Chains A and B, each alone.
Chain A
Amino acid sequence: MTAIDVRALRKRYPPREPGGVPQDLWRGLELTVDEGEFVAIEGQSGSGKSTLLHILGGLDRAYQGDVRVLGEHIRGLSDARLAALRHARIGFVFQSFNLLSELTALENVLLPDFFGEGIPDAERCAMRALERVGLADKARARPTALSGGERQRVAIARALLAGPPLLLADEPTGNLDARTGEGIIALFRELHRDGMSLLVVTHEARVSRAASRVLVLRDGVLLPDPRLEGSA
């Protein structure tokens, strides 16, 4: 079974100047991520790594091509069904953590439970997620009282709340020092071992080394990285 199946994906931006030519970001991306696979995508700034994640998460719907995530054709889904997909089956992790400063760590982890039908036994799941990322003792702390690494771990716990089969991470170690970043990478390895599908966008080699497969987004196409392929 494939977790992600992308065919001939293009993203067109309007011309920068009146009368100019629309810009195509990619030249028809092809990507397949199997269930339980940990794939890292590298690429230079502006190559469209984050845009690809947004499309896969149904956050960006202005594209051409065919995108299937967890068996669902993204394009055909309504706003409510896309929200439900993100709510229960896709976890998002961002480079800048994106925690709500007025909520405690536990409440931030519970954020997905605020929406939709909620998550059964959410409080217990949230505590378990915090335990998993090693922050059970910081459940009542506000984000301002946490270090960068702790904040990212809270963000990962939030992504894990509903037990999604797929995790999409956008530069998850980009704002962390080397040692803290290693902890996050170790956590991703652990999630991968538990059978979760991971697609991580990064420009850090240490993250790519943890992945089971590495792709490079270059010149509008996804290419296997000859350096790291198969080295997980």
Chain B
Amino acid sequence: MRPARLWKLARANLSREAGALAVSTGGVALGIACLVFFLALGRGVQRVVRDVFPVSAREIEVVVPQVGIGSLFGQVRLDDATVQRLRQITGVTDAFPRLALHIPAVTRYDGLFFGKPIRMGLEVVGTGISPDLIGPDARLPFQDTGDGNPIPVVVNRRLLEIYNKVFAPQRGLPALTDSMLIGFQFPIELGRSYVASKTLPGSYEAALRLAGFSDRAPLAGLSMPIETVRRINARFGQDGGGYSSVLLRAQRSEQVGEIAGAVKRMGLEIDESERNRALQIGAAVELVTLALSLLAALITALAAVNIAQAFHAEVRERTREIGVMRAVGATRVDVATLILAEAAVTGIVGGAFGVALARIGGVAIDYLARKWLPEFPFKPQTFFDFRPTHVLLGLAIAVAASLAGAFFPARTAAALDPARALSET
């Protein structure tokens, strides 16, 4: 049966059965709409999770084990020699050591902050990082400038988002951009803690100067040049000569497993807390997406059952017509093909409606979110990530469900005894 003729005949039959098949098409559309909607929502939420917890598939953080045989014997240290050995592991392209500020520090601010009076004090968590790690994210020189000069610091870009969406609205402070803050200076008191209520001997005040924002900087606290942190730690007698951790970058993400193995063989550990958190949240989102997609699949399956009933009824009604087709030269395959073609068209129409419905639903949800949801950190412009693959998947599943539903009716139609069919009244 030639496609053009098949289409003409299927179209004629579908136009006659439009009313009955509208319910089936609606069912398919609903199922596919739910499926595409939830898939796009899942991807959209995953994207937000990645924004909040960016995890590079090519990077791992190496730390000294908390308790280990190596550390008991004092053999494992993250010193320059170890960093060099880590660099030599096959697949490692870069190694960026980090050094924690081992002494307490606080910042207090009492004055005008971009036109608004502010008075506050904060405990500072400091980390020393290599300038190479953040690269061009530092808009001002990011290197140790020695005592008496402002200490350049880099802040994770997510902190600015949290400030703008949470802190600033609560305190009535202005929203800020990174360019407004570059070069901003604020005081720090090194060797003092508000939380522990203690001041170390030799504590002193200095100034911090914001040099840039970077996703590469640790989320918690301020990142300073690693030499600055080493110098401050040494001033308070806290410099052990090693590093707190080393970030390793692999050439390819597939090599990360092998690199992690090599690191562990050196008696070191991989700190996967942030990665695990991101993975856990990602997995939870995927699980919810999967559950909702299964629900959508169930709706689509019910639509397939409805299609089966509709086509069974159609075959019963068209028994005599099928007999005529057989009499003028249709084979059993022709009859089955015709029924399946009608089902495929039903599926394509239902799938297209479903995809459109999902898009409309997504636009509506985004509109409502923009209008009614309060601002919060990382609030996305859209909660959805519609992909061409979703459209193709939606259409494919719609057609597959329709074909599955029409399979047995088509078989019944093909198996009809033409003589008996022609005798139907």
Contacts and interface: CB of A to CB of B under 8 A. Distances in A.
Most buried by B among A50, A57, A103, A111: A111
B410 to A, nearest CB: 15
Given A114-B6, A114-B8, A50 B423 contact: yes
A158 B328 contact: yes
A88 interface: yes
Contacts of A54: 418-419, 422
Nearest to A161: B328
A80 interface: yes
Interface stretch (B110-118, B164-172, B329-337, B375-383): B329-337
Contacts of B15: 102
A98 B321 contact: yes
8 closest Cβ contacts across the A-B interface? A87-B329, A60-B419, A102-B12, A54-B419, A83-B331, A59-B418, A112-B328, A114-B5
Interface string B1-16: 1100110110011011
Most buried by B among A80, A100, A113: A100
Nearest to A104: B12
A116 B331 contact: yes
A47 interface: no
B125 to A, nearest CB: 76
Given A57-B327, A60-B419, A102-B12, 11 more contacts: A54-B418, A60-B418, A83-B334, A94-B324, A98-B320, A98-B324, A102-B13, A112-B329, A114-B1, A118-B2, A159-B328
Contacts of B324: 94, 98, 100, 111
A59 B5 contact: no
B326 interface: yes
Contacts of B2: 118
Interface residues of A, number: 31
A111 B325 contact: yes
A92 interface: yes
A100 B12 contact: yes
B419 A86 contact: no
A54 B326 CA distance: 11
18 contacts: A51-B419, A54-B419, A59-B323, A60-B418, A83-B326, A98-B320, A98-B321, A103-B12, A107-B8, A107-B12, A111-B325, A112-B329, A114-B330, A115-B5, A115-B325, A116-B1, A116-B331, A116-B334
B94 interface: no
Contacts of A86: 326-329
Interface of A: 50-51, 54-55, 57, 59-60, 79-80, 83-84, 86-88, 92, 94, 98, 100-103, 107, 111-116, 118, 158-159
Given A94-B324, A114-B8, A83 B329 contact: yes
B320 A59 contact: no
A114 B325 CA distance: 9
How big is the B interface, by class?
A: 20 to 34
Most buried by A among B5, B6, B321, B419: B419
Given A98-B324, A101-B16, A115 B422 contact: no
Contacts of B328: 86-87, 92, 111-112, 115, 158-159
Contacts of B227: none
Interface of B: 1-2, 5-6, 8-9, 12-13, 15-16, 320-321, 323-334, 417-419, 422-423
A107 B419 CA distance: 23
A190 to B, nearest CB: 22
B16 to A, nearest CB: 5
A32 to B, nearest CB: 22
Contacts of A88: 329
B1 A115 contact: yes
Most buried by A among B2, B9, B13, B331: B331
A107 B5 CA distance: 10
A187 to B, nearest CB: 19
A56 B269 CA distance: 86
Contacts of A112: 328-329
A111 B9 CA distance: 9
Contacts of B5: 113-115, 118
A84 B321 CA distance: 18
Contacts of B320: 98
Contacts of A94: 324, 327, 422
A101 B417 CA distance: 22
A102 B16 contact: yes
B12 A115 contact: no
A59 B327 contact: yes
Contacts of B321: 98, 100
A92 B331 contact: no
Given A98-B320, A100-B12, A115 B329 contact: yes
Contacts of A87: 328-329
Given A114-B1, A115-B329, A158-B328, A59 B12 contact: no
Contacts of B9: 114
A57 B331 CA distance: 13
A98 B418 CA distance: 13
Contact of B422 (A59, A101, A103, A114): A59
B369 to A, nearest CB: 47
A179 to B, nearest CB: 26
B420 to A, nearest CB: 8
B134 to A, nearest CB: 70
Most buried by A among B9, B12, B16, B327: B327
B275 to A, nearest CB: 61
A79 B327 contact: no
B1 A59 contact: no
